[in-house]
Amino acid sequence: MRFIRLIFVALLALILVGIALANREMVVLSLFPANFGQFLGGTWSLSVPLFVVIFGAFAIGMLAGLLWEWMREANYRREAKLRHAEVSRLESEVDHLRDRHAAPRDEVLAILDEPATRRPVAGTGTLLPAAH
C-alpha cells in the first residue's frame, strides 16, 4: 500500500511539473474588471506565470469545497456529540445499577451465592475441600 501511494505521489508530481513547465508565460491577473480598480486607487493587478493561476485556482476550489462540506456536516457532528454524551451517561448509569444490585442484601444469600471452593467445610473451619 505504501508503494502504491509513493507511485501515485510521484506521478502527481510529474504531472504538476509538466503543467508548470508548459504554462510558464506571464499573465496579468486583475482583481477588478477593466479599469474599475483606477477608481479605488492603486493597481489591482499583478503579473504571474499561468501555472500559478492554475494551481491557485485549484487550491482555492479545494479549500472552498472543504469548508462547504465541513459546514454541511456540522449538524451530523453535533448529533454525534449528543449521542455520545447520552451513551456515556447511560453506560455510567448501568454500571452504577450493576454495582448496587450485584451485592446480596442478606448474609445467608451471600453465603449461598459464593462458589463452592470458597465455602468453609462443615466442622473444619477451613476453606480447603473436605478429604474423603
Phi, psi of 49 (to 5 degrees): -65, 150
Is 1 part of a structural domain of the chain?
A: no
Query: 56-102: per-residue pLDDT in tens?
Result: 999 999 999 999 999 999 999 999 999 999 999 999 999 888 877 76
Q: Which residues does 116 contact at the CB level (< 8 Å), separation at least 6?
A: none
Alpha helix (H) residue ranges in 30-73: 37-40, 50-72
Please give the average per-residue pLDDT across 5-23, as a whole number: 91
Angle between helical axes of 2-22 and 50-72 (0-180°, round to 10):
130
* DSSP bridge pairs for 30: 45
Name the residue range of residue 60's domain: 21-72
Is 50 part of a structural domain of the chain?
A: yes
Is 132 part of a structural domain of the chain?
A: no
Question: Under DSSP, is residue 59 helix (H, G, I), strand (E, B) or coil?
Answer: helix
- How much is the pTM? 0.56
Is 25 part of a structural domain of the chain?
A: yes
Is 55 part of a structural domain of the chain?
A: yes
40 and 64 fall within a common domain: yes
> Which H helix or E strand runs over 49?
strand 45-49
45 and 86 fall within a common domain: no
